[in-house]
C-alpha cells in the first residue's frame, strides 16, 4: 500500500474516532422536563414565585387559548367595577434617590426623576391613577405637572388605563410599542380611563428616551403582548449609580402557539443581553408578585447598616438568572405545543 494512501486512511480513521467521541459527549437535546429543571435552578429562591406562575402553571394552560390578559388592549370593555380600596391601595414611597414607587399592592408604577422632569413607568388601572400617581407624587413632594414622559410596558388595562389622563391633563408624551398602539387606538372612547392620542411609538429596533441627565433604554420585547417594552435605566442609591433591568411582561397569557413562545423566548435572550451589556444588578417587573416590590419598597425605608445593600440590589448574575428562567420556561412550553 502506498505510504501516502496509508497515511490518509489513518487521518480519516482519526477524524471518525474524534467525531464519534465528540458525539458521545454531546449533551442530549433539550426536553420540556430538562428545561423546566434548568428554569427551577435558575429561579432559586430569588424568583420562586415567578417560576411557579409561568413554568408550573402558566395562565394559558388553564384556558387552552391564552386570552388577552388583564384588561387586554383589544378586549371589549366590560362593566367597570372598582375593587375595595383596601385590597389594592399602597402608600407611595421614595425607594432610590431618583426613583419613587407609586403603584398598588398588585401593579407597579414608578416615577423616575431627572434634572428636567419626571418619567412615569406604567399607569395602573384608571381607578388608581388619582390616588396612587397624582396624589402620590404630590404627597412625595413631586409635582405631577413635571411629568414629561409616560412609558407603558404593555397595553393591558392594569398598566395603561391612566395614560390618557396624564397625557391630557399634564401634556405628557406617551411611549408605547407600535403594535400595542395599533390595538389601543381601536378601543371605544368609553373604555375605562379613556384612550390616549397616539404619540411616541417604539418599533422592533427600540429607542432611547432622554430627559435631562437620564436616559431610559427602551427595548422591544414582544411576547406578553406584540408591543411589550422592557427598560434599562439608572438609579442612584445614596449617590451610587446602579442599573435596573425592568421586565415589561411576564405571564404566558397569549394563545398556545409554538411561534408565540419562540417570540417570547427570543425576547428574554434579547433582554438578558441588554442587561448584561449594561451591567444591571437590579431586576424589576410591573407586577409586585414578580419582584416583591410591595415588600421591598417598605424594607427600603428601614435603616441600613454600613455596607448593607439596598433591598432591590442583587448582582449581575442574579439578574441574568431571571431571564434564563423565563426563557427556559417559554422554550419548554414551545416544545409542548403541537403547532
Helix (H), strand (E), coil (C) string for 86-155: HHCCCCCEEEECCEEECCCCCECCEEEEECCEEEEECCCCHHHHHHHHHHHHHHCCCCHHHEEEEECCCC
pLDDT at 216 over 50: yes
Query: What tens digit of pLDDT does each residue of 95-108 get?
Result: 999 999 999 999 99
Mean pLDDT in residue range 287-294:
96
pLDDT at res. 79: 61
For the chain, which domains are there?
29-72+83-336 (3.60.15.10)
pLDDT at res. 8: 42
Chain position carrying cell 407609586: 102
Query: What tens digit of pLDDT does each residue of 5-18 get?
Result: 444 444 334 434 44
Mean pLDDT in residue range 30-59:
94
Are 209 and 173 in contact, with CB atoms under 8 Å apart? no
Q: What is the spatial distance between Cα 201 and Cα 207, in angstroms, rounded to a whole number? A: 9
Are 248 and 229 in contact, with CB atoms under 8 Å apart? yes
pLDDT at 166 over 80: yes
Are 222 and 171 in contact, with CB atoms under 8 Å apart? no
Chain position carrying cell 439596598: 310
Q: Please give the residue that has the higher pLDDT: either 169 or 189.
A: 169
Q: Please give the residue that has the higher pLDDT: either 3 or 126.
A: 126
Instruction: Determine phi and psi for 229, rounding to 5 degrees.
Output: -120, 140
Mean pLDDT in residue range 274-290:
97
C-alpha distances in angstroms, 177 versus 24, 197, 211? Answer: 46, 14, 19
Mean pLDDT in residue range 303-317:
96
C-alpha distances in angstroms, 299 versus 50, 96, 119, 304, 309? Answer: 20, 12, 24, 10, 11
pLDDT band at 176, cuts 50/70/90?
very high
The C-alpha cell of 191 is what?
373604555
Q: What is the spatial distance between Cα 227 and Cα 179, in angstroms, rounded to a whole number? A: 5
Can you give the pTM of this predicted structure? 0.88
With residues binned 3-state (H G I as helix, E B as strand, rest as coil), the percentages for the chain, rounded to 5, are 40, 20, 40
pLDDT at res. 57: 84
pLDDT at 69 over 70: no
Element (H, E) at 284: strand 282-285
Mean pLDDT in residue range 154-183:
98
Amino acid at each position: 500500500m502506498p505510504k501516502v494512501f496509508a497515511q490518509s486512511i489513518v487521518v480519516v480513521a482519526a477524524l471518525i474516532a474524534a467525531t464519534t467521541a465528540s458525539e458521545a459527549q454531546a449533551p442530549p437535546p433539550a426536553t420540556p422536563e430538562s428545561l423546566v429543571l434548568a428554569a427551577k435552578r435558575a429561579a432559586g429562591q430569588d424568583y420562586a414565585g415567578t417560576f411557579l406562575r409561568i413554568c408550573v402553571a402558566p395562565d394559558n394552560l388553564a384556558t387552552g387559548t391564552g386570552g388577552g390578559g388583564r384588561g387586554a388592549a383589544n378586549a371589549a370593555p366590560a362593566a367597570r367595577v372598582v375593587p375595595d380600596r383596601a385590597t389594592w391601595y399602597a402608600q407611595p414611597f421614595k425607594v432610590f434617590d431618583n426613583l419613587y414607587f407609586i403603584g398598588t399592592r398588585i401593579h407597579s408604577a414608578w416615577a423616575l426623576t431627572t434634572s428636567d422632569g419626571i418619567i412615569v413607568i406604567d399607569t395602573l388601572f384608571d381607578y388608581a391613577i388619582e390616588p396612587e400617581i397624582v396624589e402620590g407624587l404630590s404627597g412625595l413632594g413631586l409635582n405631577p405637572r413635571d411629568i414629561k414622559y409616560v412609558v407603558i410596558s404593555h397595553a393591558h388595562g392594569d398598566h395603561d388605563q391612566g395614560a390618557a389622563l396624564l397625557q391630557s391633563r399634564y401634556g405628557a408624551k406617551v411611549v408605547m410599542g407600535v403594535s400595542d398602539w395599533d390595538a389601543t387606538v381601536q378601543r371605544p372612547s368609553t373604555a375605562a380611563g379613556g384612550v390616549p392620542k397616539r404619540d411616541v411609538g417604539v418599533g422592533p429596533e427600540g429607542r432611547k428616551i432622554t430627559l435631562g441627565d437620564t436616559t431610559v433604554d427602551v427595548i422591544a420585547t414582544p411576547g406578553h403582548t406584540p408591543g411589550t417594552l422592557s427598560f434599562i435605566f439608572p438609579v442612584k442609591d445614596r449617590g451610587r449609580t446602579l442599573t435596573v433591568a425592568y421586565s415589561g411582561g411576564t405571564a404566558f397569557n397569549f394563545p398556545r402557539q409554538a411561534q408565540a413562545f419562540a417570540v417570547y423566548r427570543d425576547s428574554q435572550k434579547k433582554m438578558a443581553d441588554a442587561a448584561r451589556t449594561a451591567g444591571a444588578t437590579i431586576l424589576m417587573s410591573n407586577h409586585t408578585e414578580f419582584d416583591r416590590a410591595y415588600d421591598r419598597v417598605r424594607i427600603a425605608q428601614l435603616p441600613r447598616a454600613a455596607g448593607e445593600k439596598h433591598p432591590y440590589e442583587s448582582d449581575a448574575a442574579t439578574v441574568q438568572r431571571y431571564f434564563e428562567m423565563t426563557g427556559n420556561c417559554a422554550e419548554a412550553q414551545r416544545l409542548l405545543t403541537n403547532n
